[in-house]
Amino acid sequence: MKNCPCIFARQRSGEDAILFEGNHLLPFFWLMLFDKEDIESYREEMAKTSDTDTEQEDNCMVLDKLNALLKVASRRDYVKKHMITCLQLFDDWLYYLQISDFSDMKIYVDLYHMESSYKNTNDFCDSLLKAIICLDKDIEAWNEDTIAATCGYESSNNNIKPFSNLSKAYRELNKKSIYGHFDKKIYLNKKNSFWKKRWLLAAILLITATLFLGIVWYVM
């Protein structure tokens, strides 16, 4: 059972290998695997199972590998125009999918955890359609220059070498993310330390003033 949105492959060994993992947002590069027909087919498949108990594995968008990667490649100009800082990461991600072991030539995108946050399947599919309009009409979309928002996090598997070994762009972005959190923690610690010092100084001044007033009262 998959624990998060992910892209996975059925390998020759018969096992599923998770290649990339997402979180509460669908990574933008994943959207490039889809077109309107894929989303409507997914909607129809989910409608067929709406009256039955749907297993998690049924909430996968199953894509023909060759067709899906051709769609991604055709959208490279979009990345070059609107997401230039992520272009090398995009190229590495596409290449990694090309050389990965998809024994049945199908790319599986597990959407179970993501779809469950929507009211129903139709709302979820409508949100996907709105997202790919940006790609089809060359409209700049909001995006973050992060791993989570672009390709998703690599996952450990026996497929091939880790994606981070292949992609320098991924390693640098991951390092940026780690150091960003680290720097933020340092900043917060410094801020907390500053306020602690102010409270300590105020306490010292209060004690000093109390002692001074006590001495004055005693002398008088």
Q: In a structure prediction context, what are the per-residue pLDDT tens digits for the chain, which is 220 residues long?
A: 467 899 999 988 888 899 999 987 889 999 999 999 999 999 998 888 765 554 545 678 999 999 999 999 999 999 999 999 999 999 999 999 999 989 999 999 998 888 878 888 999 999 999 999 999 999 998 778 899 999 999 988 766 688 999 999 999 999 987 765 444 443 444 445 544 556 666 666 667 666 656 565 555 5
Count CB-CB contacts under 10 A for residue 167: 21
- What is the model's pLDDT at position 69? 97
The set of residues, in sequence order, having a beta carbon less than 8 Å from that of 79 and lying 6+ positions away, is 86, 87, 90
Closest to 7 (Cα-Cα) out of 168, 152, 105, 128: 152
- DSSP string spanning 119-183? SSHHHHHHHHHHHHHHHHTT------SSTTTTT-EE---SSSS-HHHH-HHHHHHHHHHHHHHHH
Q: Which residues contact 96 (CB under 8 A, 6 or more apart)?
A: 19, 163, 166, 167
pTM (predicted TM-score): 0.77
